[in-house]
Structure 1
Amino acid sequence: MGSGHLFTAYKTAKSIWTILILTASTNPTQLSHCRNRQLTSNVNIPKNTPRKTTKPVPDRCPQRPFKLLAPSSPSILPSAQTNPNRPTSIQISKSPLLHPSRSQKKWSPKSPKDPRKPPQSPLFAGGPRRRSPSSSTPESLGFTRIKPVDAAQNPLPPSFSPSKMTLFLDLDETLVHSKTDPAPINYDFVVFPRIDGQIVPFYVLKRPGVDQFLKMAATKFEIVVFTAGLEEYASRVLDLLDPKGEVIAHRLYRDSCRQIGGKYVKDLSDLGRDLGRVAIVDDNPMSFSLQPENAVRVKPFVSDPEDEELKRVMEFLDVAVKFEDVRDAVKFFVGGVVGEPVG
C-alpha cells in the first residue's frame, strides 16, 4: 500500500472518529485532544509522508477514564469535580427545561395557571392597563372634589377682644402707594416678591401718618388689612408696616375677594363678624359695593406729602366707638351721604 493510500485511510479514520464523538454528545473540546493523540499513536504514517506544519497543542486530555452513563441521551451535563483524584463522570440531566423536543406544555398567554409564567412588572404587566370608568374618578382615587366658589368661605378666627369693633383697611392707595421700575424719586422701602416665577421690585411710599394711625386705631379696633393685592406682594409690605405683629390682627388677600363683573369686591358678610360692628376704609367704591353702609371712603394716595386723610379717618373712629351700630356712625359722620370721601 502506498503512502497516498495510507494518508487517505488516516483522513477516513479521523472523520469516523469525529462522527462518533458528536454522536456520543461528549465535550468536543475535551475529547479533541484525546482523539488527536490516539490517532497519532495508533496509525503508522510513513516517514516520507508529507505533513502540515502546525503549532504544538498542549496535552489537556486528562489521564482518567470516561464513564458514559447514556451515550444516546440528548443532554449531558458534566458534574463538578472538586477532587482531582476522582474519575471524571458525565451525568445525564432529565430536566424538562433542557429537552424542548419532549412533550411538554408550552406557555402561552391563554394559560394563566401555568406555574412557569414569567414574572412581570406591576407597572407594565399585560401592557397598558384599562381602567374602568368608575375607577378613574377622583373620588375613587382618594381625592376630594373641591367645588369652585367665587368668594372665600373661611371666616376669620374669633376676635381676641370681643368688646372691640372690627376695622377693615385697604392697603394700596389707602395706607401706601407702590410702583415697579423705574424707581421713583421718593419711596420708603423696596420689596422683592416673586410673581409668575420672576422677582419684581416694588418701591413703596407710606401715606403720611400711617404708622401713628395704625397704633392708635389698634387701641380701639380689631385691625384687619383686606387687600385685593397678591399675597406674595402684600405680605412683604405688611411685614414692614407691622414688623412686630402687634398692630394688625389678621390679613386677607385677593383670594378672599369676590369677582363681580371682572372686578374684585370685598364681601364682609362671610367673614364671621357682625356687620353692625364692622367698618371698612377704602379708596375704591367697587370694593365695598356689597356693604356701602359700612364704608368710609378716602381719597387715593399717590405721592402727596401733605395728605391728611388718615387724620380724618381717626376722627371717624373716635365717633364710631360711641355708637352701638357702626352703620349709624357712618351716616352721622359723612352727613348722611354714604360712600363719599371723608374730607
Structure 2
Amino acid sequence: MVSRTPTKAPAPRPSPAKPSPSPATRRRQTFRAGRRPSATKRRASPLKSLAAAPAAVASSFDRSVRFCRRRLFKLFARLAVIGSPTKRRAAAAGFQRLRSTPTSLPTPSALLSSPRSQRPSRVHPAALPPPTDPSKKTLFLDLDETLIHSQTDPVPARHDFAVRPVICGQAITFYVRKRPGVDAFLRAAADAFEVVVFTAGLEQYASLVLDRLDPAGDLIAHRLYRGACRDGGDGRLVKDLSATGRALGCAIIVDDNPNAYALQPENALPVAPFIDDADDKELQKVIGFLDVAAGFDDTRDAIRHYKDLVKAN
C-alpha cells in the first residue's frame, strides 16, 4: 500500500563556489558593461588650462604680450640712440634726422624757373675768401636773364652756344644766347671791380655756361651757385650779401629779379630781364653806372644817386 503522506523535500545541494575572476577578466567585464577603468588623477598642464580658457581671455592675453613687446622694442631703440656718442653730439648741436622722400625727375624748365623743385634744405655758407685786391669793390652779377638767356627744347632760332649738363642723372641740352655786349661788359667790370657771379641756377648747369663766358678764368673771381642762396621759406631764393664776407658799403648786386636782393635792396642795381632782344642796351647802362660809382666811398650812396637820376629822367 502506497502512503500518500508527502515526503520531506531533499535539501538543495550547495552550489560549488565560483572561482574569483582574474584581473584581465574583470577588465573585459568592465569594458563590456560600458565603463572605463578609473584613471589616476594627474595635475592639469598650464598649456591645457590656457587652451581650455575662454576665447576672450586668450585674446586679451595675446594683446598684452604684443603690447609689452612693442614697448620694450621702442625703449631699447631709444636707449641705443641716446647711448651713441655721435647721436649725443648731434642732438646737442641741434641737428635732426631727415626723412628720406622719393624724388622725381624734374622737367628741364622747372630746373631753372622753379626753385621749389631744388629748394636747399638749409642755409649754406657763402663766405668768400679775402679779396686779392682790397682796393676794389665787389660786383655781384646774376646769370640767367641778366648776362644770358637759356632754354631747352625746342631749339631757338638763334643761340650762341649750347651746354649739356647732367642733372638728376639726365643729360639736358640748354641753348644759350648771350646778352648783347656781355663780353665787353665783363672785361670792363673786371678791370675796376672784383667780379662775383651769384646765381640761383644749379652748379651743374651754371658752371658750364660760365666756362664759356670766361674760358681763361681771369674775369670772374668767384662763383656762387644755388647752394649759397638763402631759402626765403616760400619758394623764393634770396642772395644774402652779408653772408659773403664783403662789406655792404663796398658791394653792388646787378640782378633782374627783385626777390633775389630782397635782403639788401639798397645794394641792388636792377636791370630788365633779357630774353632775345638784339638791340638790348642794359649792360651799356650798367657800365656807365660803374664809372660813376667809382667816385663814391659807399656804393649804396652811388646806387641811391643813380636811382634818383633815373626817376628824374
Same fold at TM > 0.5: yes
Question: Which of 173, 180, 184 is residue 156 of structure 2 equivalent to?
Answer: 184
Change (3 A) 1:336 1:146: farther
Distance 1:247 1:291 in 2: 25
Distance 1:336 1:137 in 2: 62
* CA apart distance, 1:259: 1.2
Answer 1 or 2: higher relative contact order, Cα 8 Å, separation at least 6.
2
What is residue 292 of structure 2 aligned with on the other side? 319
Change (3 A) 1:295 1:195: same
Change (3 A) 1:196 1:136: same
Q: Does 2:258 correspond to 1:285?
A: yes
Q: Does 2:227 correspond to 1:255?
A: yes
Contact preservation (8 Å) 1:258, 1:264: yes
1:298-309 to structure 2, matched below 5 A, reads 298-309=271-282
What is residue 108 of structure 1 aligned with on the other side? none
Q: Please give the root-mean-square deviation of Cα atoms over the aligned residues, in Å.
A: 2.6
Change (3 A) 1:203 1:215: same
User: Could you list the per-position Cα deviations for residues 201-241 of structure 1 after superposition, in whole angstroms to 9, with x for gaps in the alignment?
Assistant: 00000000000000010000000000000000000000010
Contact preservation (8 Å) 2:81, 2:87: no
Change (3 A) 1:336 1:209: closer
Question: Which of 185, 208, 220 is residue 213 of structure 1 equivalent to?
Answer: 185
Distance 1:199 1:223 in 2: 30
User: What secondary structure is seen at the aligned counterpart in 1 of 2:259?
Assistant: coil
* CA apart distance, 1:336: 6.5
* CA apart distance, 1:147: 4.5
Change (3 A) 1:207 1:142: same
Unpaired runs of at least 5, structure 1: 1-128
Unpaired runs of at least 5, structure 2: 1-75, 97-120
User: Could you list the per-position Cα deviations for residues 1-46 of structure 1 after superposition, in whole angstroms to 9, with x for gaps in the alignment?
Assistant: xxxxxxxxxxxxxxxxxxxxxxxxxxxxxxxxxxxxxxxxxxxxxx
What is residue 308 of structure 2 aligned with on the other side? 335
Q: Does 2:204 correspond to 1:241?
A: no
Q: Which has the higher helix share?
A: 2
Distance 2:259 2:130 in 1: 27
Distance 2:302 2:308 in 1: 10
Change (3 A) 1:276 1:133: closer
User: What secondary structure is seen at the aligned counterpart in 1 of 2:208?
Assistant: helix
Distance 1:225 1:146 in 2: 32
Distance 1:279 1:141 in 2: 40
Question: Which of 191, 194, 198 is residue 226 of structure 1 equivalent to?
Answer: 198
Q: Does 2:212 correspond to 1:264?
A: no
User: What secondary structure is seen at the aligned counterpart in 1 of 2:245?
Assistant: coil
Change (3 A) 1:176 1:263: same
* CA apart distance, 1:181: 1.1
Contact preservation (8 Å) 2:146, 2:273: yes
* CA apart distance, 1:333: 1.0
Tell me the number of residue pairs that the alignment of Structure 1 and Structure 2 aligns: 212
TM-score (norm 2): 0.63
Please tell me the residue identity of whatever aligns with 2:255: D
User: Could you list the per-position Cα deviations for residues 243-276 of structure 1 after superposition, in whole angstroms to 9, with x for gaps in the alignment?
Assistant: 0100000000001001112110101011100100
User: What secondary structure is seen at the aligned counterpart in 2 of 1:307?
Assistant: coil
User: What secondary structure is seen at the aligned counterpart in 2 of 1:327?
Assistant: helix
Distance 1:308 1:182 in 2: 27
Distance 1:138 1:281 in 2: 44
Contact preservation (8 Å) 1:135, 1:141: no
Contact preservation (8 Å) 1:139, 1:145: no
Change (3 A) 1:144 1:159: farther
Q: Does 2:268 correspond to 1:295?
A: yes
* CA apart distance, 1:334: 1.5
Please tell me the residue identity of whatever aligns with 1:132: A
Please tell me the residue identity of whatever aligns with 1:307: D
* CA apart distance, 1:144: 11
What is residue 51 of structure 1 aligned with on the other side? none
Change (3 A) 1:133 1:326: closer
Distance 1:146 1:223 in 2: 36
Q: Does 2:125 correspond to 1:153?
A: yes
* CA apart distance, 1:150: 3.8
Question: Which of 155, 175, 195 is residue 203 of structure 1 equivalent to?
Answer: 175
Distance 1:334 1:154 in 2: 28
User: What secondary structure is seen at the aligned counterpart in 1 of 2:301?
Assistant: helix
Distance 1:288 1:306 in 2: 27
Please tell me the residue identity of whatever aligns with 2:205: Y
What is residue 80 of structure 2 aligned with on the other side? 132
